[in-house]
Structure 1
Amino acid sequence: MSGGEEPEGLRAATRLTRAGRRPEWTGRVVNTPVWRGSTHLYASEAERRRAGGRDDPAQFFYGRRGAPTQWSLAEALTEIEPGAHGTVLYPSGVAAIAGCLLAVLSPGDRLLMSDNAYDPARSMATGLLARMGVETRFFDPLDLAAYAGLVAEFRPQAVWLENPGSLTMEVCDVPELARIARAHDAVSLIDNTWASPLGFPALERGCDIAMMSLSKHVGGHSDLMMGSASAAEPLFGRLRRTALDLGQVVSPDDAALAARGLRTMQVRLAASTRSAARIAAWLAEQPQVARVMCPLLESDPGHALYARDFTGGCGLFSFVLETGDMDASGRVVDALKLFGIGYSWGGYESLALPIAPHVHRTVMASPTRPHGDAGATRPAIRLSIGLEDGEDLIADLAQALARMDEA
C-alpha cells in the first residue's frame, strides 16, 4: 500500500480490502505472508526481557501468542467492528463461545441465555458452566417485560444473545436487551455470526462482546475452522488473558485463509442475501410450505426490527412444511440435487438440513410465539443459500417439494 494517512470515513468494502495490512507485516507483497513457527528468537537477552509483557497482542514472544499472520487477521476484524479495541482468535466458533463465557463468569455467577441460542452454546451453559458452579436460566428474547423482571430478580453477571435466533430466526431488540443488562451491571455477549459486523454492528448496538464463527462467512469456502471475539477495553483484556491462560491459538495457515476470505466477504454476503430473499419469497407462495422464517421478508414478524437495526443479512433461513409427517423434511432434502446435506453454513455452496427446533428450546415452544410451534408438530428445513444462481436453486427446490408426499 502507498504511504500516508488513511482517508476518513472509508466504507465497509474499502475497509475490508485494507484492514490489517500493515507494511511491517506485508513488506512488498499484498497479503501478510504465512509465518509458521513455534519459537521466536531474540537478538539479545535484553530484547527477550522487554518482550515478556502480555499487554501488546502484536508482539513476538512465542508461537502460542501468534505472529503477523494471526495479528493481521485480528486487527482487520477489529477494524470492521465499530467500537472494538481488539479481537481474539480461537480455533473454532465453539471455542470462541467458551472463551467469551469463561472470560466473564466465575464459580457462583449467574448467566441468562436467549432460549433460541445455538445449541452448543446451550450445551456449554448446561454442561461445562454448570459443572463449575454457574447457574443458567433461559429466557424468551422477544418478551422484554418478562426479561426485565428476570434480570432484576436473577441478577446475572452476563447475558448471552443471538440475533436472529438459531434455527427459527426470531429478531430481538438487542439495543434494549443490552441496555437492561447494563443497567444491572451485567455483561451482554452476542453470537453475531449470522449478519457479521457488516450487517449488524453489535458493539454499536449496545453489546459488550461480539463473537463470530469465522468458519462461516469470513472463511467463506468451507475449508477452515475458527472463531473470534471483539470488545472494547477492559473486556478485550479479559478475553485475551483468558485465551492465553487456556493456550488458545489458531494455525497461521488457517489465519491466512480466513484473511483471504475476509476481503471478499461483503460481495459474497450481498449475493447470498439477494438469492435468499428471492428464494424465501418463492417458498412462501408454495402450497407445500406452511411458514417461512426469514427476517428478510416484509411479512416476517421480525422484519421491522431487522429493517431498523441491520444493514445486511445472509443466506441462512428456515421454513416449515405443510404436513404433519415428520419424515417429509428428510425426503425433501434427499431429493435436492444442488444442495449439500451438512451442519455448517456461510460457504459458497448451498446446504439443506432437516431441523427440529423444539428439541433446543426451554421456554419458547409455545404455539403463541410469533413463529408458532415451528418444528414442534411439523417438519422444518434450514437452508444456507450459497453463490449458485438463485433460479437454479428454486427449480431444484420445486422438484424436491413436488416429491414431498412420495412414500
Structure 2
Amino acid sequence: MKPPTSTELIHHPYTPPEGFQAPQPGVFKASTVLFPNVAALRARNWKEKTGYTYGLHGTPTTFTLEERLATLEGGRQALLTPSGLAAIALVDFALLKTSDEVLIPDNAYGPNKELARHELAAFGIAHRFYDPLIDAEALKAMIGERTRLLWLEAPGSVTMEFPDLSGLVRAARECGVITVLDNTWGAGLAFRPFDLCGDGSLGVDISVQALTKYPSGGGDVLMGSVTTVDEALHLKLKFAHMRQGWGVGANDVEAVLRSLPTLPLRYAAHDEAARELARWCQKQPEIVQVLHPALPGSPGHEHWRRHCRSAAGLFSVVFDPALGWARVDAFVDTLRLFRIGYSWGGPMSLAVPYDIAGAMRAQTHGVRGPLVRFSVGLEAVSDLIGDLEQALRTLR
C-alpha cells in the first residue's frame, strides 16, 4: 500500500548523487542531526570535527568557515559566535572566575569595558583599565597575583593608538597571563596575531574578531570568531561555547563564506582610500589632529610600523576645540555620502562623533577637542573628498 502523502514527503527515499562541486560550499541547516544507528549516535565526536551530533555543535557549513578563519589568522582552531561582543563574552566567561582579575586597555571597544563593569563585576571578577600605550615593564608592574587575562586592541577603534603588541604579549607571557587580542581592525591581514615577530616565537593566545566588519563586508551580518593555536585552550573555550549555547545561522555563515575570497582586495581598497582621505584631512585648518596609525605622529605609529603590513579603512579626526560640539555635530549632519551609523568594514562610508575626553577614557594622549571617526567604504575617493569639502564649508 502506498503510504500517505504526508509520510512520504517526510521519509522520501531519494538521495541526490554525490560528487557535486561548486565555487561556494553548500548551506546545511540543522538543529536535529540524524544517525544511522544507536552505535553511531554514541560514538560520534563533535569536539574534533570528526562527526556531527547536533546543529549547535557544528555543520559542514560552520566547520568550513571555522577552518578558513583559522587559516586566515594563522591559528589552528576557530569558534563562531552570534556577534563580536558574544566572542568577547565567551572568552571572559570561559577563562575567568570569582576573585580573578582582567586588564583591559582604556581605548577598548566600549561594550568590552561595560561587560567588565557590570556582568563580570557582579560575578566577583575584578578589572582594571590600562593606558593603551603602556610599556612592557609598566605592564609587568601592574600585573598582580589575581591577574588572569590581558585584553589587547590594536589599534583602539576610536582613538587609534597602536600598542607595543610584541612587548606587551611577551610581558604577559613572562607573568603567566593569557593574552587575547581584539583583531577586528587587523582582520588577519594587517599582521599575524600568532606570529608577531615573524619567526614563530611570539604571538597572542587568543584572537577575537567581529566578523560583522571586514570578513562579512556587507554591513548585513552579525557574527564573531574566537581563534586559538593551543589545543587545550581551544577545548576550554569550546566546552564553554557549548554550555552557553552560542550558535549562528547557516545563512549568515554562507554570507561570510561568500565574502571571504574578496577580503584581501576589499581590505586593500579600504586601506588605500582611508590613507588618502586622512592625508587630505591633515591639510584642513579646522582639523587639529588626524588619528591613523599609518600616519607619522599618530599615537603608536612606530609600533604600527614594526608590526603591520597594511591598515584598515578607519581613522579619526580631532577638530579645533574652539569650534564647539554644536558646529561639529552640524558638520556630521551635513555629510551626504558619509552616513551616520556605528560599525565599519562595509561598502558604505560612515561617520560618528565621540566625546572621548568626557565619556570614553582617562588617557587621551594629547587629543583635545571634538572627535569624529570615519569608516571609509568603497565609494570613489574623489566623491568622498567632495563630501568632506562641502561639509567643511558649512562648518566654516
Q: Same fold (TM over 0.5)?
A: yes
The Cα offsets for residues 122-155 of structure 1, whole Å up to 9 and x where unpaired, read as 001111111111100111121214322101x454
Q: Which moved more, 1:356-365 or 1:110-119?
A: 356-365
The Cα offsets for residues 42-76 of structure 1, whole Å up to 9 and x where unpaired, read as 1111111111x342135210111121111111000
- Structure 2 residue aligned with 1:72: 64
Task: Give the distance between the partners of 1:248 and 1:26, measured in 2 at CA.
Answer: 32
The Cα offsets for residues 332-377 of structure 1, whole Å up to 9 and x where unpaired, read as 1111111111011110110011111234545414xxx2xx134xxx
- Tell me, yes or no, if the aligned pair for 1:88 and 1:229 is still in contact at 8 Å: yes
Question: Could you tell me how far 1:177 is from its partner in structure 2?
Answer: 0.5
SS at match of 1:219: coil
- Kindly indicate whether residue 165 of structure 2 is the aligned counterpart of residue 149 of structure 1: no
Instruction: Return 5+ residue gaps in structure 2 as ranges.
Output: 1-17, 197-202
Task: Give the distance between the partners of 1:326 and 1:354, measured in 2 at CA.
Answer: 9
Q: 1:32 aligns with which of 25, 31, 40?
A: 25
- Kindly indicate whether residue 196 of structure 2 is the aligned counterpart of residue 196 of structure 1: no
Instruction: Return 5+ residue gaps in structure 1 as ranges.
Output: 1-24
Task: Give the distance between the partners of 2:361 and 2:139, measured in 1 at CA.
Answer: 15
Task: Give the distance between the partners of 1:221 and 1:301, measured in 2 at CA.
Answer: 30
Amino acid at match of 2:354: I
Instruction: Label 1:334 to 1:58 Cα distance change in 2 as closer, same or farther (>3 A).
Output: farther
Task: Give the distance between the partners of 2:19 and 2:301, measured in 1 at CA.
Answer: 42
- Structure 1 residue aligned with 2:327: 328
Q: Which moved more, 1:140-149 or 1:378-387?
A: 140-149
Instruction: Give percent identity, aligned residues only.
Output: 36
* Equivalence map 1:342-381=2 (5 Å): 342-365=341-364, 369=365, 372-374=366-368, 378-381=369-372
- Structure 2 residue aligned with 1:224: 221
- Tell me, yes or no, if the aligned pair for 1:350 and 1:383 is still in contact at 8 Å: yes
Task: Give the distance between the partners of 1:58 and 1:393, measured in 2 at CA.
Answer: 49
Amino acid at match of 1:103: A
- Structure 2 residue aligned with 1:15: none
Task: Give the distance between the partners of 2:39 and 2:294, measured in 1 at CA.
Answer: 58
- Structure 2 residue aligned with 1:183: 174
- Structure 1 residue aligned with 2:97: 106
- Kindly indicate whether residue 269 of structure 2 is the aligned counterpart of residue 271 of structure 1: yes
- Tell me, yes or no, if the aligned pair for 1:112 and 1:156 is still in contact at 8 Å: yes
- Structure 2 residue aligned with 1:166: 157
Q: 1:238 aligns with which of 223, 236, 239?
A: 236
Q: What's the C-alpha RMSD, in Å, of the aligned pairs?
A: 1.7
* Equivalence map 1:58-137=2 (5 Å): 59-82=51-74, 84-137=75-128
Amino acid at match of 2:367: D
Question: Could you tell me how far 1:400 is from its partner in structure 2?
Answer: 0.4
Question: Could you tell me how far 1:330 is from its partner in structure 2?
Answer: 1.2
SS at match of 1:80: helix
- Structure 2 residue aligned with 1:253: 251
What TM-score, normalized by structure 2, do the two folds share? 0.90
Task: Give the distance between the partners of 2:332 and 2:19, measured in 1 at CA.
Answer: 45
The Cα offsets for residues 184-212 of structure 1, whole Å up to 9 and x where unpaired, read as 11000110101111112112122110000
- Structure 2 residue aligned with 1:16: none
Bigger radius of gyration: 2
Instruction: Label 1:339 to 1:362 Cα distance change in 2 as closer, same or farther (>3 A).
Output: closer
Q: 1:392 aligns with which of 375, 383, 394?
A: 383
Task: Give the distance between the partners of 1:240 and 1:358, measured in 2 at CA.
Answer: 39
Task: Give the distance between the partners of 2:82 and 2:184, measured in 1 at CA.
Answer: 15
SS at match of 1:181: helix
The Cα offsets for residues 276-326 of structure 1, whole Å up to 9 and x where unpaired, read as 000000000101101000012133242221111011211111001123311
Instruction: Label 1:118 to 1:234 Cα distance change in 2 as closer, same or farther (>3 A).
Output: same
SS at match of 2:321: coil
Task: Give the distance between the partners of 2:76 and 2:345, measured in 1 at CA.
Answer: 26
Amino acid at match of 2:64: S
- Tell me, yes or no, if the aligned pair for 2:82 and 2:247 is still in contact at 8 Å: yes
- Structure 2 residue aligned with 1:215: 212
- Kindly indicate whether residue 396 of structure 2 is the aligned counterpart of residue 402 of structure 1: no
Task: Give the distance between the partners of 1:154 and 1:363, measured in 2 at CA.
Answer: 25
- Tell me, yes or no, if the aligned pair for 2:165 and 2:303 is still in contact at 8 Å: no
- Tell me, yes or no, if the aligned pair for 2:97 and 2:125 is still in contact at 8 Å: yes
- Tell me, yes or no, if the aligned pair for 2:94 and 2:237 is still in contact at 8 Å: yes
The Cα offsets for residues 356-404 of structure 1, whole Å up to 9 and x where unpaired, read as 1234545414xxx2xx134xxx211000001001111011101101111
SS at match of 2:325: coil
Amino acid at match of 1:373: V
Question: Could you tell me how far 1:26 is from its partner in structure 2?
Answer: 8.7
Q: Which moved more, 1:290-299 or 1:69-78?
A: 290-299
- Structure 2 residue aligned with 1:11: none
